[in-house]
Amino acid sequence: MEENKQQQQQEEEEDGILLYYKYAHVPDINDLVSFYDSNCKSLGLLGRVRIAPDGVNVTVGGKLSSLEIHIAAVKLNNLFEGTDFKLASCSCPLNDKIAKECGFTSLSIRVVKELVTFSSHPLLKSPTISNAGRHLSAAQFHSVLHSAGSFSENEGHSQRKQLFLLDARNLYETRIGKFQTSNVETLDPEIRQYSDLPSWIDSHAEQLQGNSVLMYCTGGIRCEMASAYIRSKGAGFENVFQLYGGIQRYLEQFPDGGFFKGKNFVFDHRISVGSSNADVVGSCLLCGSSFDDYSSRCRCTYCRMLVLVCDRCQKDGAKYVCELCQKQSKGIEPVPLIGSSGYLNSTPDDGSGAVELESATLCDHMTSPPEHPQGHGSRPPKKLKILCLHGFRQNASGFKGRTASLTKKLKDIAELVFIDAPHELPFIYQPRPTEIVHGSIELEVQKGPPPLESCKKKFAWLVAQDFNSSRGTNWKIAEERFDPLQYRQQTDGYDTSLAYLKDVFSQSGPFDGILGFSQGAAMAASVCGQRGRLDGEIDFKFAILCSGFALQTGEFEMGSIKCPSIHVFGNGLGKDRQIARNASMELANLFEKSCSLIIEHESGHIIPTRSPYIDQIKAFLLRFL
């Protein structure tokens, strides 16, 4: 009976996908092979592991709890220090054919010469990764594209460097989605496989030299090698930049797609991951109608590259010729639909098996399955995990109690995690003055503070400059009456709080978003502004800032913080005595308008949970599921 119960619980648990890679010298390859073989088999993980002298590249799937155990085991090895483990829940493959092609029917552990094979030419030595192009966070990348037009207008033509977008992916990937902006030319090498890219770079070196190049790929690893190769060409090739985390990270930060149009092709059984924008970029190879679904796995009969063929044009026994083979004047003779077990590789193999794995390992940072999963037995999407930062002189338990209604109304889509801030505050009370009754009798309204043992500790994210960190054991009498503008003097302790949050994300993460209230919102907003600098340490997709205010650092300009955010505060009718409407509005104005939402309510220093406010909050969060 107990065994049946455990089996049922295991069957009901969510499935997931884990993707990670690490560039580092592997001192003992055989030892690492043994570890993966033993660990993955014991946990029932399936997928692909590639181990090379210069690093490790992993894509495995299984139960979420098993994947978390695997992560904990991998972290015990110092080789993986700083590794970004990308864990996502997912639905099952649409069919066995897709599962076989994407490598999730068995465990494959292979030792390869290079983590990513950059060229099939035996005499071309791979470039040094340390010479790779500078990383740009998703926000920085977006900002460069956004401002490209103004740069070109303001700079003199004779001294202006041209800015190019360079797509480092294969042709079939670019056909369903790519970056597009009228101000920047996108260069699409139209290659069948990654090992063809060096030849394209060589033939276009004159075009690239002396200009700035923004590179991107699915998850980042292909740009590491390709950008290093461009920079290795010497003078005039220094200005090469790469999108950190690739399209995956960009869509995570800009869920509406931003400058990326269409879908991000991935190399696991999800096939592609889109934004909230449902526009279709791809088209059918035969009839030209809008279409971007590779789930049928139609392929070119000559080179075996994936091609887009819509449902109406698909026929049993039909053959297809990709656009590259057509350019090479190969006959328009057909290719059978995938029907045999012989067509298992999703791209031509260059000998290392790393091209497919590279994108599969990095391609998807989304933590939820498709919005409308198909097939029987599909499970509900994973909840968003949100870290909650309380206000000044509050604590986690108190904030949790005050937001109980919010927690209840978001229970189906979000899990709220509450933590205490790092600065413990002394116990302070304000004696109430005596009252004069009937003109002569004095009545003491408050005799004294309550006993300490009945009081919970209070904390803060920011403190005054004269703050004494020593924690007293007795009550202190306030030196002056409550000042509603005291938050302006609480500017110290930020570095301590930031380091504390890094530990929280490392030990209790990942988190999908941050919710901050009052001073907690000010702290969260500052972290939003530093996301590019904190990549790998504090990663999240969105922020909910309630009754917040901006820290008076002068670090951020209007519209400079590019993080999806929602700002909730009182509408200025005087009911919020702590934080004025203007202060919260000033904070909201620091965020880019295209990815932020303002909700004003008529209440005081609270987070409203009735309609229409809770409906707007829910709608915002659902964009990230």
Q: Which residues are catalytic?
A: 217
Task: Report the alpha-carbon distance of residue 527 to residue 521 in Å, rounded.
Answer: 10
Taking the chain, what is the end-to-end CA distance rounded to the nearest angstrom? 36
Q: Partners of 546 in the beta sheet?
A: 517, 568
Q: Can you tell me which residue has the tokens 């989605």? A: 177
3-class DSSP string for 90-139: CCCCCCHHHHHHCCCCCEEEEECCCCCCCCCCCCCCCCCHHHCCEEECHH
DSSP state of 300: B
Instruction: For residues 191 and 281, give the distance between their C-alpha atoms in angstroms, rounded to a whole number.
Output: 18
Residue tagged 């340390």 (tokens)? 130
Long-range CB contacts (< 8 A, 24+ apart) of 604-608?
A: 604/570, 604/575, 604/576, 604/577, 605/518, 605/547, 605/570, 605/575, 605/576, 605/577, 605/578, 605/579, 606/402, 606/547, 607/403, 607/406, 607/517, 607/546, 607/547, 607/568, 608/568
DSSP 368: S
Count Cβ neighbours within 10 Å for each residue of 589-620 and write b for 16 or more, e otherwise. bbbbeebbbbbbbeeebbbbbeeebbebbeeb
Task: Tell me which amino acid residue 60 is.
Answer: V
Give the burial string for 173-188 (b: 16+ CB within 10 Å, else e).
Answer: bbbbbbbebeebebbe
CA angle 300, 306, 309 (to 5 degrees): 80
Instruction: Give the residue ranges of DSSP H helices in 420-547.
Output: 494-508, 519-529
- Alpha helices by DSSP H, 467-551: 494-508, 519-529
Strands 240-243 and 463-464: unpaired
Look-up of token digits 């690739």? 246
Cα–Cα distance between 206 and 226 in angstroms, integer?
16
Phi, psi of 479 (to 5 degrees): -75, -25
Pairing status of strand 458-460 against strand 423-425: antiparallel
Backbone angles phi, psi at 398, to 5 degrees: -65, -40
Residue 310, amino acid: C
Quote the CA–CA distance of 366 and 374 in Å, as a whole number.
18
CA-CA distance, 263 to 280, in Å (whole number)? 8
DSSP 196: G
As a whole number of angstroms, the distance between CA 282 and CA 268 comes to 19
426: left (phi over 0), alpha (psi -120 to 50) or beta: beta
